[in-house]
A and B are shown apart, each in its own frame.
Chain A
Amino acid sequence: MKILVAVKRVIDYNVQVRVKEDGTGVVTDNVKMSTNPPDDNAIEEAVKIKEAGKATEIVAVTVGEEKAQETVRKALAVGADRGIHVKVDGIVEPLAVSKILQKIADKEKPDLIFMGKQAIDDDCNQTGQMLAALLNWPQATFASKIEVKDKMLEVTREVDEGLETIEVNVPAIVTCDLRLNEPRYASLPNIMKAKKKPIEQINSSDLGIDTKPRIEQIKVEEPPKRKAGIKVANVAELVEKLKNEAKVI
């Protein structure tokens, strides 16, 4: 089985994001960037499946500017075999990303495509489902457990009510939850080895995909600030404040 894993470069999850003063977006200059956290889970799961002898090749793919390649390089360091970088500058909406990934899937013919369930920058939660629609494949979204069976997967999904289990035939798309696994760190020798693994570069225009945004971002602003709170000395004071000041109990 061949697994394609899509990864995205985003502002690191520990960074306190700041809005630009001119309202055009958030500050990204000199800000630490990383792989979108659930995309790390997607790579980890693919590597585990390969280690269990159930997959033969893992291809990591990213869509984005020049530096997005770093996320592919990181995927190679934890066990992906080769990489693909589709180069696009500026904002690429999930619909355009899924059309690009569809082209890559047509060429690579993977049995499975894994990715994180949501990117922590735009919080869209769309790409996997859109790609599944374009390919007319089944989708197992928000996966917290995957069992590989013969030509199919049994997937446990995290849903609002609790857990849901489905079976999907391959080829299939899986979007990964953070609880799917514990992503490993790349060892130094593997980081060195990853530098020799190939990354194919493709321009999105060569794929014939129009990436022009369909959503105009008019303004980005700070959310309303909460007024500063107080520290209470003890539980009795807390209950008194909740009862008589906030009037919520």
Chain B
Amino acid sequence: MSALLIAEHNNKEVKPFTLNAITAASQIDEDLHVLVIGHKADEVVKSISQIPNVKKIIHVDNEIYENFLAENFTSVIVKQAENYSHVVCSANTFGKNLMPRVAALLDTSQVSDIIKVISADTFLRPIYAGNAFATVKSLDSKKCITIRPTSFDPAATSGGSAEIVKAEGGDASTNIKFIRREEVKSDRPELGTARVVISGGRGMGSGDNFKLITAIADKLNAAIGASRAAVDAGYITNDHQVGQTGKVVVPDLYIAVGISGAIQHLAGMKESKVIVAINKDGEAPIFSVADYGLEADLFEALPQFLEELSKLNTIQK
């Protein structure tokens, strides 16, 4: 049997992490089909059909799917799942919200947030905020899997020509109503996929002081992250949070500024290729994962950092 991937999109574009999930899903089963549920998402279908790893697309269009409510998506996925051995989705807030609802109705024990496909039924996943890795084997005949997107490369987006079929949807739930979505628009790279991330913690002292971080992010074309403490303190909005219950990032360079390094924050960034920590407390746990640690007052170090970067002839983008 084949694998069915649930695409995440915004009715206009495919969300980037769907590409990483496609890579993982095609490692599980090469005969990979993608289910696109949405409203007026023809462009999304078209772009997914060009992904070489995708063999077939099932497209379900109805206005009740415009806002991606799990209550409305679930019956469609459960019906389509009859023909598949695996149902797969990215483990971001879209997939985390949706997949367990599907798994429960399929009577399947879901395997969440896998970081490696060992075989079609065996996977590696982090537990305890990434302080342990568990190798797990699903014994259910039908498997529901969510994928940690940053652990897989994005799939190629051109050269394919997948077959597209239309399918019928289901009924809308009368017990839930979408009201609004407040998206934070930014010209910066997305936190989850940025090559460089610079994050601030409680040590930043105020939201206004984040401008010191912003200036460096501009120079390095970096995304801006934050610890939970900084978000809780109201310095910055929740979509910047890196950690066990926020976003997991794996950039080439992660710069942690004024972040002590609680287990919960480390869970979101310690797989980064190169880690820099700037903190005035030399005993801060963040230094235990840092490749380069600078024990310094961030209010002195950040302006100097900006100045040193300005002296460089070239900076990688």
Contact = CB atoms under 8 A, between A and B. Distances in A.
Contact of A133 (B105, B182, B237): B105
Interface residues of A, number: 81
A249 to B, nearest CB: 6
A238 B131 contact: no
B264 interface: yes
Given A177-B245, A238-B305, A248 B274 contact: yes
Interface in A108-143: 117-118, 120-134, 137-139, 141-142
Given A133-B100, A160-B93, A223-B132, A214 B139 contact: yes
Contact of A120 (B129, B136, B138, B305): B129
A135 to B, nearest CB: 10
Interface residues of B, number: 91
B64 interface: no
B137 A215 contact: yes
Contacts of B97: 129, 139, 141-142
B120 interface: no
A249 B253 contact: yes
A76 B276 CA distance: 44
Contacts of A120: 128-129, 244, 264
Interface in A175-232: 177-179, 213-223, 226, 229-232
A162 B190 CA distance: 12
Contacts of A124: 110, 112
Interface of A: 11, 13-14, 16-17, 19, 26, 38, 93-96, 98, 117-118, 120-134, 137-139, 141-142, 144, 154, 157-169, 172, 177-179, 213-223, 226, 229-232, 234-236, 238-239, 241-243, 246, 248-249
Interface of B: 69-71, 74, 92-94, 96-105, 107-113, 122, 126-140, 173-184, 192, 196, 220, 228, 231-232, 237-239, 244-245, 247, 252-253, 263-264, 270, 273-276, 282, 287, 289-296, 301, 304-305, 308-309, 312, 315-316
